[in-house]
Every structure is written in C-alpha cells, then in structure tokens.
Amino acid sequence: MADLILYVSLLIIWSSLLYHLFLMVGGYCYYWQHFRIVHQWQKKSLQKPVVSILIPAHNEEVVIRDTLSAMVKLNYPKDKLEIIVINDLSTDQTGAIVDEFSKEYSFVKAVHTKKPFGGKGKSGALNQGLKNSQGEVIVVYDADNQPEPNALHYLVMGLINDQSAGAVVGKFVL
C-alpha cells in the first residue's frame, strides 16, 4: 500500500511539474510572438489619429485625481489627444477636481451634465461626452482606471494596424 501511495505521489508531482513547464514555454513563445508583432507595427510610420478619451464620472472624488494624473502622462502626442471627463451630476468635489485639470491642461475638457440629460447612468454620460468629442478614435476609461503610459499607444497601434478590427480592448492589470 505504501508503494502505491509513493508512486501516485510521484506521478502527481511530475505531472504538475510538466504542466507548469508547458505553461512556461507557452508564455515564453507568446511573449516573443507579441514582441515581433509590436516591432513590425513600430517600423511602419503611420499617421496617428486624433483620440478622444471619454471618462464618465459620478461622485468619483476619491479616484478622479489619480486617474487624470495617469491620463496626462500618456505617451501620445498631446496635440492629438482629447481627454473628456463627463461629470454626471456629482454631488461631491468631482467637478471641481476635473475643472482644475482642464485649466492646467489644454487637452483635458470638462463636461458637466445638467438635468434632464444628466443622471441617466454611464451610457447617458458617454452620449454627452461623444457629442463633445472631436477624435477619430474613441476610447472609454472608467473613472477609477489608471492606465500605464504606453497603454493608449498600443491600443491605437492595434486598431490602425489591423484593418479588420473595429475595436480593441486593453488588458486590465491589478
């Protein structure tokens, strides 16, 4: 009986090790494939489109400053960037914080919704922001997202380098 338990244990351990080796090799191959694709995209000198980032916000005083701080640090030409924060009838200091950023950065716009159009949820706020946008590409971030500096660059590269793509989605990392 002890021999059987030993052999089963060894089988489980070796199976687990082989499984993780398989995952490691697969991840390594995926990394290099991704690296080659990004390198090919960067060789092409494509004209970057004007991008409008829409950020709907309702009572987001706690997180909106960090979000906007991350947005203004995006590695994208500022003359081709428009950050539109839709303050959807907030009752806290969200609107004041957004106004601070819009005064400091010319590419940050504050849209303050009013009744009867405001307060209808995220989709209503996004519709208000879309009416005020000028971009060829529309990007939507939640008010609590803080993208990495190159996130927008990679999203736009993915969209303009794949003619069959109608949309791209970024990876959320904690």
Q: Looking at the predicted structure, is the pLDDT value of residue 60 above 90?
A: yes
Work out the burial of residue 125: count CB atoms within 10 Å of its CB; fewer than 13 is exposed, 13-18 middle, 19 or more buried.
Answer: buried
User: Which among 75, 82, 80 has a CA at the least distance from the CA of 154?
Assistant: 75
- My answer on whether omega of the bond before 49 falls inside 30° of 0, hence cis, is no
CA 125: distance to chain centroid?
18
The three-point CA angle 95-168-102 to 5° equals 20
Q: What is the pTM of this model?
A: 0.79
Q: Helices (DSSP H) in the chain: which residue ranges?
A: 2-43, 64-72, 94-104, 122-131, 151-161
Average pLDDT over residues 94-110: 97
| pLDDT value of residue 146 | 94
Domains and CATH numbers, the chain: 51-161 (3.90.550.10)
> pLDDT per residue over 4-17, tens digit each?
999 999 999 999 99
Confidence of residue 38 (pLDDT cuts 50, 70, 90): confident
Confidence of residue 166 (pLDDT cuts 50, 70, 90): confident
Q: Looking at the predicted structure, is the pLDDT value of residue 117 above 80?
A: no
Q: Looking at the predicted structure, is the pLDDT value of residue 56 above 90?
A: yes
Q: Looking at the predicted structure, is the pLDDT value of residue 161 above 80?
A: yes
Average pLDDT over residues 111-132: 90
